Amino acid sequence: MREFFMVGGRKLSYLDFGGPGTPLLALHGHYNEASTFAPLAAALTPRWRVIALDQRGHGDSDRARTYERDAYVADLAAFHRQLAVGPVAVLGHSLGGVNAYQFAARHPDKVSALIVEDIGAVVDCDWSFTTRLPDVMPSREALVAALGTAAPYLECSFRRTERGWGFSFDTADTVASQKALNGDHWDDWTAVSCPTLLVRGTRSDELAAEHAAEMAARRAGGVRLAELPAGHVVHHDAPARFADEVTAFLGVSR
């Protein structure tokens, strides 16, 4: 079920996949939106009820004037207040992973367990792919063809407008968000106090094995590291294995 709430005059949208289970908040990465977690929600029900946010500038949420780190974290605090769920498990992929661990570091009373999917404590992302994305294509088929092998990873964000087929995100906003994401976030990562699962794709071009191992080591035993046969979008490339890791971790951390 899709829901909306207002923050500072902006609309934020989220998908509540429903069910009787314990809430799990989910945060997508760049180029995606809440619906990317539909397969995971189906795999985790009925024990877990996935509630996924369309983060600022993505999906059905409004565009924003800024995409700085503090702004994303403030949105998550507002999301948490909206849901009134108390301490809750939070899962984030890529952009959403940094947002999740910064939220957990700065609001430890609100996060009971943390799952970070394929993103580091130091981020140096390249936005050249973003600047090469097609603007508007005459048909969905043309957009898929233009994207090539990347199409399956972006299709949840496809939108049809009067001009043609494009995306639910704006490319200039995405570049601004990627630039703001870059940097050294070790202070936030090491400040997280709740049980944490760090998932890395073995074919990832974003999170190196050495960096993931250092992230686990610098949290003094508070991190479980899982490496799965996947690229950067682990929940897409290895959905069953990813769901199994999440289920096992949450079962232990409760």
Can you give the residue range of the structural domain that contains 226? Answer: 2-122+169-253
- Look up residue 36 and give its two tokens: 């990317």
42 within a domain of the structure (yes/no)? yes
Split into its structural domains, the chain has a count of 1
CA atoms of 214 and 227, how far apart (whole Å): 14
At 206, which CATH number? Answer: 3.40.50.1820
Q: Is the peptide bond prior to 46 cis by the omega test (within 30 degrees of 0)? A: yes
Question: Comparing C-alpha atoms, which of 57, 81, 82, 79 is closest to residue 67?
Answer: 57
Q: What is the mean pLDDT of residues 32-39?
A: 98
Residue 254 banded pLDDT, cuts 50, 70, 90: low
CA atoms of 19 and 214, how far apart (whole Å): 37
Neighbours of 2 (CB within 10 A): 12
**How do residues 44-87 score in pLDDT, each as one tens digit?**
999 999 999 999 999 999 999 999 999 999 999 999 999 999 99
247 within a domain of the structure (yes/no)? yes
140 within a domain of the structure (yes/no)? no
Whether 231 shows a pLDDT value over 80: the answer reads yes
154 within a domain of the structure (yes/no)? no
23 within a domain of the structure (yes/no)? yes
**How do residues 86-120 score in pLDDT, each as one tens digit?**
999 999 999 999 999 999 999 999 999 999 999 99
87 within a domain of the structure (yes/no)? yes
* Terminal C-alpha separation, the chain: 26
| pTM (two decimals) | 0.96
CA atoms of 44 and 63, how far apart (whole Å): 30
133 within a domain of the structure (yes/no)? no
Q: Are 151 and 128 within 8 A, CB to CB?
A: no
114 within a domain of the structure (yes/no)? yes
- Tokens 């600022």: give the residue: 56
